[in-house]
Amino acid sequence: MQNVEEQHATDERLARLMKNDTVTGSEALLRSLLLEGVECVFGIPGGSIINVYDAIHDMPEFTHILARHEQGAIHAADGYARATGKVGVCFATSGPGATNLVTGIATANMDSVPLVVITGNVSTALIGTDAFQEADITGITMPISKHSYLVRDAKDLPKIIREAFYIASTGRKGPVLIDIPKDVSSQTTTFRYPADKSEIRGYRPDVDPNAGQIEKLLRAIEKAERPVILAGAGVIYADAAQELLAFAEKTRIPVTTTLLGLGGFPSAHELWMGMPGMHGTYTANKALQSCDLLIGIGARFDDRVTMKTSGFAPNATAIAHIDIDPAEIGKIVQTAIPILGDVKTVLRQANLQAQAAKSEAWLTLIQANKIEHPLRYADSDTALKPQFVVDMISETTNGEAIVTTDVGQHQMWAAQFYKFKRPRSIITSGGLGTMGFGLPSAIGAQAGSPDRLVVSFNGDGGIQMCAQELAICALHNLPVKIVILNNQVLGMIRQWQELIYDGRFSHMELSGSPDFVKLAEAYGVRGLRATNKEEARSAWKQAMDLPGPVLIDFVVNQEENVYPMVTPGSTIDDMILGDEE
């Protein structure tokens, strides 16, 4: 009976939202967002978008979280999108509000994250006059967005919203910007919500692969003796983790997953080799350099993976590349077997006929390398090591948490030592490397996944770039566990200056940083501190037992470096393994 009542209530709600009555542009916007299934919007009001916020006042079913900075709002929307697979949405006003979103738009664009970014603008008559708080945000963001709209008439808003969500969430996903002048948001119109969103002239994502190319790949696999799969975020975005697992097991091919692809293949599986590239595992990097067939799946061969491209995968007689974006195939590495299409569709078709490669001797070598050259660090009974902290958190959460990170050494340690079990478990700025991303993205992830544990790893540098969003954690009692690996320096800068710039340390010390426990408590978040292993275990247990948000300041060894490391300009053969090796 309850299900019938719930369905009746849903039908009534949809009928109310779809009603062809007279509304303002702002009301048309909010109705359209609700009809697109938007659960939560992150934003900050301002003069040019205040009409929209006025309309929210009369729409109690519309959920909005007030951020403390526009960068916090868009990173939260980004974290929501990555954690849920849905489109993230944020609001900002014109001028500085809109330009504060630029870094977040670029972050989402580089990592193929579906966002709809809605900005207010000055009234249509004032556009181009250098009016107060005017900025050409569509022009500014053209190189870093998938598409953008400048709305000229309120009647077009439902259609534009429908199209924007379709564009953001199909093909290679990405951010779409909608800029709404203030007079358009107050203009009245008859609300008409379009039934179809897939007919957009000039936009036809090609998702169906060429069967002949799949056959070519399968024949190459059957002949290969040293094949490798390089899997990226495209596997996760296509919800193709199960298809990848079946493909690897059928073909008996070892798998390495990029930073953004972590969780797309289970870390405990015998075929998984770890992460490749600059801070990749010995096993993954050596396999890439020795393979005779390399299969890129939903990965764009980023320079942090390939390093010096002229020396990348030198023994591969063929490289195959499966990707939804034709612009990526052949862009970085020469591709012998290009397969354009949706990763899930490609793998499903391939799995129908896939046979094992001649890889058993190869897999024996891979396993030997994993045993002889695991990720390791010089542990200490006196100094608290950051790797110990990540390993402890991984073990106590059983690899099941959603992990967000900021950018730097802690990001790499989280990638190396947290054992991700499933997709959409790591949320990190990969392509742009945006400091300040870790905390607000955790807020979005927790808002979108209230039943999952969210752990945010941060450095003491990056946390200060969006620390004001602690207020949101406290206000909404979001149970995010905020980890700071506090080494009192910009750690990756210090590491590069030590290893590449002959110890010429310059402007990397973070003296003057706040007491993070007191900072957390000032915002109403519980703060804890640990300086050794015993304190670390105790503080983490306490954090896990507390129901709301908790910040834990882990004071770690300042001189610790991330290993392995490949320096820029080197091939991934040239790994610095560290003293422990």
Kindly provide the b/e burial profile for residues 544-559, where b requires at least 16 CB atoms within 10 angstroms of the residue's own CB.
Answer: eeeeebbbbbbbbbee
Element (H, E) at 462: none
Cα–Cα nearest to 278, from 258, 248, 250: 258
Could you give the C-alpha distances from 293 to 211, 321, 344, in angstroms and in order? 19, 11, 21
Return d(Cα 71, Cα 82) in angstroms, integer: 16
197 CB-contact burial (10 Å; exposed 0-12 / middle 13-18 / buried 19+): middle
> Which 8-state DSSP code applies to residue 338?
E
CB 377 within 8 A of CB 581: no
| Residue 486 backbone phi and psi in degrees, to 5 | -95, 100
Q: Which residue has the tokens 């779809």?
A: 18
Pairing label, strands 41-43, 64-66: parallel
User: Is 289 annotated in the active site?
Assistant: no
Q: Can you tell me the distance from the alpha carbon of 528 to that of 555, in angstroms, rounded to the nearest whole number?
A: 11
Give strand pairing partners of 482: 456, 551
Q: How wide is the angle at C-alpha 441 spanned by C-alphas 138 and 400, nearest 5°?
A: 140
Based on the residue annotation, tell me whether 133 is a catalytic residue of this protein. Answer: yes
DSSP lists the bridge partners of residue 89 as 116
Catalytic residue among 182, 370, 385, 419: 182
461 Cβ neighbours under 8 A, 6+ residues apart = 406, 408, 435, 489, 490, 491, 510
For the chain, what's the residue count? 581
Asked about 492 being catalytic, the answer comes back as yes
**Which one from 12, 19, 132, 559 is the annotated catalytic residue?**
132
358 is catalytic: no
Reply yes or no on whether 71 is catalytic. Answer: no
- DSSP conformation letters of 407-449: SSHHHHHHHHHS---SSS-EE---SS--TT-HHHHHHHHHHH-
Listed in sequence order, the residues at least 6 apart from 202 whose beta carbon sits closer than 8 Å to its beta carbon are none
Which residue of the set 39, 59, 62, 133 is catalytic? 133
Choose, from 27, 36, 42, 70, the residue flagged as catalytic: 70
The DSSP-derived string for 187-233 is: -EEE----S-----TT-----SPPHHHHHHHHHHHHH-SSEEEEE-H
**Where is 495: in which H helix or E strand?**
helix 491-499
Contact predicate 357/253, CB 8 Å: yes
Which tokens is 138 given?
Answer: 């569509």
Catalytic, out of 275, 412, 435, 492: 492
Active-site residues: which are they?
A: 70, 132-133, 182, 492
